[in-house]
Structure formats: structure tokens, C-alpha cells
Amino acid sequence: MAEQQGRLDSQEHTGAEGLDVERAGGVVTVTLNRPEVMNAMTGTMFAEFGRIFRDLHADETVRCIVLTGAGGNFCSGADVGGQSKRAVGAVSTNPLRNLRQIKASAMALHDCQHPVVAKVHGVAAGAGLNMALGCDLVYAADTARFSEIFARRGLTIDFGGSWVLPRRVGLHRAKELALLAEVIDAAEADRIGLVNRILPEADLDAHVDDVVARIAAGPPLALSMSKALLNQGSQTSMSQALEAEAATQATNFGTEDTREAARAWMEKRSPDFQGR
């Protein structure tokens, strides 16, 4: 654990490979940082993104993660321009291997045990949109724009979009977004349920800070298990879901956090959860 924490600390404020990792207490902010290309992701960035989220998953001192972009945009997707040819080639000259690296990055985000909150300014397109949708909560500025832009590039949907998008907006709405590749504004994204909430640009940071503080104050083990139950729920029967709930609840009853919650209720104070 100390080794993992050291790796995270050593990357704070470095911006290595277009990714910044900053930590304040139990809250980690991962910022996509290539503003000159709307934070488009190179092959090396995808590899580093996966490594960061695997490290965060293993770090039990993390309470919540914020994923955002620098320079007024979230992420315009994979860098398919001239810069990406050099960067992707540095990872592998084999397209399948590169795409499997993208798969590993998407799975690292999906599998992360800690709640992940996407804070979206500006453009979220292609893999960038599906990266945001891979988070547990998505909050966006009222000036944000969204697109499953793949068809315009002669490509098919990726970074988990074929899985997460229909679960977010329904199958036929997902097909409309993917087949037409239109750019939709924040109001439309809110209307179809693509995001959790739209905020005025000036209010987005404060709202996300409040949400993250409330999550970070919650019981880490219970929240991680609730996240896992909800992620798995659509793939299980009612009986299997109830059995999984029973197993996780039995685990909760053996934790110090559940005992602390009972003490706090009796003493009429807020609980101090420690994740054990």
C-alpha cells in the first residue's frame, strides 16, 4: 500500500504523458491535460490512464476520484491526427494491440472500486464521451457539447460505449446517437439522461466539490460494494442480486464503520467513517 501511495504522490502536478494526478486527502483528481488538442488521447495516454486507475483501485485510502479535462474541454476522444501516429506507434505498430490497450484502460475505469465523478466542461466526444459515461456520476456545464462522433471518422463506437450508452439512455436513443453522430448540447444531454445534472458554467466546480465531499465522508467499503452491486445488477437475476446483497450486507455488519454509524446515530452526530 505504501508503495502504491508513493507512486501516486510522485505523479502529482507532473502532467506526465498529458495526465495530471493531484491528491487532497482522500480525493484524487485526474486531469486530461492536452488542451491544445482538446485533450485528445494518444496511445501512451491510454496506457498511462489504465495504470493510474489500477493503482487508484488498489489504494484503500482513496475515497473518491474526479475525472476532468484542462483548458475548457473534457476530451475530444482519441488523437487520430498526425500527433497520434507518433504516439500510438511508440506503444505498438499493431492496431489490435493498441485497441486492446484502450480496452484495458476502459476496464480499469469500470473496475475501480472507488466512486468516480466526471466533471465535464466543453467538448466530450468519441472515446472522451464514453470515458465520462464510464464514471459513476456525470456533471456537466451548460455550455458542454457531446457526440458519439465515430461514424464521422469511419469508425465504430468504442471505449465501452456499446455497453454503457444503451444502459444510460436506452437502446434506440443510443443507436440514434451512434448512427447519426450528431453533436448535442447540454440541454439535450440532460433531457435524454446522458448526464446526471447540468450546471451553469460558473457553478460546476462548486457543485462537484460538494458531491465529492459528501461521497468522501461516506463509508468507503459500503459505497464500493453498492457500486459493484449496481454495475452487476443488469446482468443478474433478482435471486442472484438478492444473494449478492445479502453477502455484502453481512460483510457490512462486521465492519467498524457500521458500528460507528450506530454510535453516531445514538449520539446525534455525524459518523466518522474510517473504511474498516
Which pLDDT tens digit goes with each residue over 139-176?
999 999 999 999 999 999 999 999 999 999 999 999 99
Ordered by start, the domain boundaries in the chain are: 2-216, 220-266
Check pLDDT > 90 for residue 97.
no
Residues 6+ apart with CB under 8 A from 15: 33
- Cα dist. 242→62, 210, 234 in Å? 28, 32, 13
More confident residue, 272 or 16: 272
With a pLDDT cut of 70, the percent of the chain lying above it is: 89
Q: What angle do CA 130, 219, 8 make, to 5 degrees?
A: 55
Check pLDDT > 90 for residue 82.
no
Q: What is residue 140's three-state secondary structure?
A: strand
Q: Summarize the confidence of residues 208-222 as an average pLDDT.
A: 97
Q: Summarize the confidence of residues 64-89 as an average pLDDT.
A: 79
Which class would CATH give 2-216?
alpha beta
Predicted confidence band of residue 26 (pLDDT cuts 50, 70, 90): very high
Check pLDDT > 70 for residue 10.
no
Give pLDDT, residue 41. Answer: 95
Q: Considering the chain, what is the average pLDDT of its residues? A: 90
More confident residue, 96 or 22: 22
Burial class (CB in 10 A: 0-12, 13-18, 19+), 142: middle
Q: Summarize the confidence of residues 61-84 as an average pLDDT.
A: 88
